[in-house]
Protein backbone atom coordinates (compact mmCIF):
# COMPACT_ATOMS: atom_id res chain seq x y z
CA UNK A 1 0.00 0.00 0.00
CA UNK A 2 1.45 3.41 -0.94
CA UNK A 3 2.79 5.68 1.79
CA UNK A 4 0.55 8.67 2.51
CA UNK A 5 2.12 10.06 5.71
CA UNK A 6 5.76 10.87 6.51
CA UNK A 7 6.56 11.55 10.17
CA UNK A 8 9.85 13.40 10.62
CA UNK A 9 12.01 13.70 13.69
CA UNK A 10 13.29 17.26 14.21
CA UNK A 11 16.71 17.57 15.89
CA UNK A 12 19.37 15.68 13.97
CA UNK A 13 17.01 14.93 11.07
CA UNK A 14 15.62 18.21 9.75
CA UNK A 15 17.67 20.71 11.77
CA UNK A 16 21.13 20.70 13.36
CA UNK A 17 20.39 22.22 16.77
CA UNK A 18 23.17 20.80 18.91
CA UNK A 19 25.26 23.97 19.30
CA UNK A 20 22.31 25.91 20.72
CA UNK A 21 21.36 23.00 22.98
CA UNK A 22 24.97 22.77 24.22
CA UNK A 23 25.06 26.50 24.94
CA UNK A 24 21.79 26.33 26.89
CA UNK A 25 22.97 23.29 28.84
CA UNK A 26 26.22 25.01 29.78
CA UNK A 27 24.29 28.12 30.82
CA UNK A 28 21.99 25.99 32.96
CA UNK A 29 24.84 24.22 34.73
CA UNK A 30 27.35 27.08 34.71
CA UNK A 31 26.27 28.82 37.91
CA UNK A 32 26.78 25.58 39.87
CA UNK A 33 30.45 25.28 39.04
CA UNK A 34 30.03 22.30 36.73
CA UNK A 35 32.37 21.78 33.81
CA UNK A 36 31.29 22.93 30.37
CA UNK A 37 30.21 20.29 27.89
CA UNK A 38 31.44 20.10 24.33
CA UNK A 39 29.13 19.71 21.35
CA UNK A 40 30.43 16.17 20.92
CA UNK A 41 29.47 15.31 24.51
CA UNK A 42 26.00 16.80 24.05
CA UNK A 43 25.43 14.87 20.82
CA UNK A 44 25.89 11.62 22.73
CA UNK A 45 23.12 12.57 25.20
CA UNK A 46 20.39 14.21 23.10
CA UNK A 47 17.23 12.52 21.86
CA UNK A 48 15.06 11.88 24.92
CA UNK A 49 13.97 15.41 25.74
CA UNK A 50 15.27 18.16 28.01
CA UNK A 51 14.65 16.43 31.35
CA UNK A 52 16.61 13.32 30.38
CA UNK A 53 19.33 15.46 28.80
CA UNK A 54 19.87 17.35 32.05
CA UNK A 55 19.76 14.14 34.09
CA UNK A 56 22.47 12.64 31.88
CA UNK A 57 24.60 15.79 32.01
CA UNK A 58 24.53 16.16 35.80
CA UNK A 59 26.89 14.07 37.94
CA UNK A 60 25.12 11.62 40.26
CA UNK A 61 25.83 13.74 43.31
CA UNK A 62 24.29 16.83 41.63
CA UNK A 63 20.94 15.33 40.56
CA UNK A 64 19.11 17.45 43.14
CA UNK A 65 19.94 20.45 40.93
CA UNK A 66 17.95 18.98 38.03
CA UNK A 67 14.86 21.20 38.20
CA UNK A 68 16.91 24.37 38.67
CA UNK A 69 19.14 23.50 35.72
CA UNK A 70 16.11 22.71 33.54
CA UNK A 71 14.58 26.08 34.38
CA UNK A 72 17.80 27.91 33.54
CA UNK A 73 18.21 25.83 30.37
CA UNK A 74 14.73 26.76 29.18
CA UNK A 75 15.22 30.45 29.98
CA UNK A 76 18.38 30.57 27.87
CA UNK A 77 17.25 28.23 25.12
CA UNK A 78 14.00 30.10 24.58
CA UNK A 79 15.96 33.31 23.98
CA UNK A 80 18.60 31.70 21.72
CA UNK A 81 16.55 29.02 19.98
CA UNK A 82 17.92 29.43 16.46
CA UNK A 83 21.09 31.41 17.05
CA UNK A 84 23.25 28.64 15.57
CA UNK A 85 20.62 26.14 14.40
CA UNK A 86 20.22 25.49 10.68
CA UNK A 87 18.33 23.00 8.55
CA UNK A 88 20.43 20.23 7.07
CA UNK A 89 21.34 20.49 3.37
CA UNK A 90 18.50 19.91 0.90
CA UNK A 91 15.79 19.64 3.57
CA UNK A 92 13.54 22.42 2.24
CA UNK A 93 14.08 21.28 -1.33
CA UNK A 94 13.06 17.75 -0.35
CA UNK A 95 10.00 18.90 1.58
CA UNK A 96 8.81 20.84 -1.47
CA UNK A 97 9.16 17.68 -3.55
CA UNK A 98 7.08 15.74 -1.03
CA UNK A 99 4.00 17.94 -1.44
CA UNK A 100 1.81 14.94 -2.36
CA UNK A 101 2.33 13.41 1.08
CA UNK A 102 0.92 14.34 4.47
CA UNK A 103 3.83 15.39 6.68
CA UNK A 104 4.26 15.66 10.43
CA UNK A 105 7.06 16.55 12.83
CA UNK A 106 7.35 14.37 15.93
CA UNK A 107 9.98 15.64 18.34
CA UNK A 108 11.08 14.92 21.89
CA UNK A 109 11.57 18.69 22.14
CA UNK A 110 8.62 20.45 23.77
CA UNK A 111 5.82 21.35 21.40
CA UNK A 112 6.05 25.15 21.74
CA UNK A 113 9.82 25.08 21.16
CA UNK A 114 9.44 22.74 18.17
CA UNK A 115 6.84 25.02 16.59
CA UNK A 116 8.90 28.15 17.23
CA UNK A 117 12.06 26.56 15.86
CA UNK A 118 10.37 25.59 12.61
CA UNK A 119 8.68 28.98 12.28
CA UNK A 120 11.91 30.88 12.87
CA UNK A 121 13.69 28.77 10.26
CA UNK A 122 10.77 29.35 7.89
CA UNK A 123 9.57 25.85 7.17
CA UNK A 124 6.75 25.17 9.64
CA UNK A 125 4.35 25.56 6.72
CA UNK A 126 5.47 22.31 5.13
CA UNK A 127 3.87 20.25 7.90
CA UNK A 128 0.27 19.29 8.65
CA UNK A 129 0.99 18.86 12.35
CA UNK A 130 3.87 19.46 14.80
CA UNK A 131 4.02 17.22 17.88
CA UNK A 132 6.35 17.67 20.86
CA UNK A 133 7.34 15.68 23.93
CA UNK A 134 4.50 17.20 25.97
CA UNK A 135 1.71 16.85 23.36
CA UNK A 136 0.80 13.32 24.47
CA UNK A 137 1.27 11.49 27.77
CA UNK A 138 4.34 9.64 26.47
CA UNK A 139 7.20 10.49 24.12
CA UNK A 140 9.36 8.49 21.72
CA UNK A 141 10.26 5.60 21.83
CA UNK A 142 6.63 5.06 22.92
CA UNK A 143 4.15 4.33 20.13
CA UNK A 144 1.62 6.74 21.65
CA UNK A 145 2.74 9.96 19.89
CA UNK A 146 3.05 8.11 16.57
CA UNK A 147 -0.46 6.70 16.93
CA UNK A 148 -1.69 10.18 17.87
CA UNK A 149 -0.28 11.66 14.64
CA UNK A 150 -1.89 8.95 12.53
CA UNK A 151 -5.22 9.43 14.28
CA UNK A 152 -5.15 13.20 13.82
CA UNK A 153 -4.34 12.86 10.12
CA UNK A 154 -6.64 9.86 9.49
CA UNK A 155 -3.89 7.61 8.14
CA UNK A 156 -3.36 3.90 8.82
CA UNK A 157 -0.07 2.33 9.99
CA UNK A 158 0.53 0.60 6.65
CA UNK A 159 0.30 4.03 4.97
CA UNK A 160 2.82 5.69 7.32
CA UNK A 161 6.58 5.93 7.71
CA UNK A 162 8.85 7.64 10.25
CA UNK A 163 12.17 9.27 9.35
CA UNK A 164 14.73 9.94 12.07
CA UNK A 165 18.35 9.90 13.12
CA UNK A 166 18.13 7.91 16.34
CA UNK A 167 17.15 4.58 17.80
CA UNK A 168 14.28 6.34 19.62
CA UNK A 169 12.67 7.20 16.27
CA UNK A 170 13.14 3.68 14.97
CA UNK A 171 11.78 2.11 18.17
CA UNK A 172 8.75 4.44 18.17
CA UNK A 173 7.98 3.48 14.59
CA UNK A 174 8.39 -0.23 15.28
CA UNK A 175 6.23 0.02 18.39
CA UNK A 176 3.48 1.69 16.34
CA UNK A 177 3.72 -0.86 13.52
CA UNK A 178 4.94 1.52 10.81
CA UNK A 179 7.91 1.49 8.45
CA UNK A 180 11.10 3.22 9.54
CA UNK A 181 13.83 5.18 7.75
CA UNK A 182 17.11 6.11 9.45
CA UNK A 183 19.19 9.07 8.27
CA UNK A 184 22.91 8.61 8.84
CA UNK A 185 23.97 12.28 8.87
CA UNK A 186 22.44 13.09 12.28
CA UNK A 187 23.50 12.55 15.87
CA UNK A 188 23.67 8.75 16.14
CA UNK A 189 26.27 6.44 14.58
CA UNK A 190 25.10 3.82 12.09
CA UNK A 191 25.28 0.99 14.61
CA UNK A 192 22.42 2.58 16.57
CA UNK A 193 20.25 2.56 13.43
CA UNK A 194 20.59 -1.03 12.29
CA UNK A 195 17.00 -1.95 13.17
CA UNK A 196 15.56 0.54 10.66
CA UNK A 197 13.75 -0.85 7.64
CA UNK A 198 15.66 1.55 5.39
CA UNK A 199 18.74 3.74 5.74
CA UNK A 200 19.65 6.86 3.75
CA UNK A 201 22.75 9.04 3.77
CA UNK A 202 21.11 12.09 2.15
CA UNK A 203 17.57 13.42 2.63
CA UNK A 204 17.21 13.64 -1.15
CA UNK A 205 17.18 9.84 -1.24
CA UNK A 206 13.82 9.83 0.57
CA UNK A 207 11.49 10.51 -2.37
CA UNK A 208 12.99 7.81 -4.65
CA UNK A 209 12.79 5.40 -1.72
CA UNK A 210 9.12 6.17 -1.10
CA UNK A 211 8.34 5.62 -4.77
CA UNK A 212 9.71 2.08 -4.49
CA UNK A 213 7.92 1.06 -1.28
Per-position pLDDT tens, the chain of length 213: 799 999 999 999 999 999 999 999 999 999 888 989 999 999 999 999 999 999 999 999 999 999 999 999 999 999 999 999 999 999 999 999 999 999 999 999 999 999 999 999 999 999 999 999 999 999 999 999 999 999 999 999 999 999 999 999 999 999 999 999 999 999 999 999 999 999 999 999 999 999 998
Instruction: Tell me how far CA of residue 165 lies from CA of 60, 76, 87, 138, 193, in angstroms.
Output: 28, 25, 14, 19, 8
Shortest CA distance to 49 belongs to which of 138, 127, 129? Answer: 138
Instruction: Tell me how far CA of residue 157 lies from CA of 2, 47, 117, 168, in angstroms.
Output: 11, 23, 28, 18
CA–CA separation, 182 and 39 (whole Å): 22
Across the strands, what pairs with 130?
Answer: 105
Half-sphere exposure for 143 (CA within 13 Å, toward CB): 11
Given 9, 11, 20, 165, the catalytic residue: 9
* Residue 11 near residue 46, CB atoms below 8 Å: yes
37 secondary structure, DSSP code:
P
Confidence at residue 33, expressed as pLDDT on a 0 to 100 scale: 87
Q: What angle do CA 207, 209, 211 make, to 5 degrees?
A: 70
CA–CA separation, 212 and 127 (whole Å): 23
Confidence at residue 78, expressed as pLDDT on a 0 to 100 scale: 96
Confidence at residue 101, expressed as pLDDT on a 0 to 100 scale: 98
Across the strands, what pairs with 103?
Answer: 6
* Residue 128 near residue 102, CB atoms below 8 Å: yes
Q: Is 20 a catalytic residue?
A: no
CA–CA separation, 85 and 123 (whole Å): 13
**Sign of the CA dihedral running 150, 177, 166, 54:** positive
Amino acid sequence: MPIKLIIFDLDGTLVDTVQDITNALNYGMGSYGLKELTVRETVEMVGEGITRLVEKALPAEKQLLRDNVIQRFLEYYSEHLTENSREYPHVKETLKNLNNFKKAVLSNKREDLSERLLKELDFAGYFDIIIGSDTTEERKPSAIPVLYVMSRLSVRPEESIIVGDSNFDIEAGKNAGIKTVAVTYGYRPREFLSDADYMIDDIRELLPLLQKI
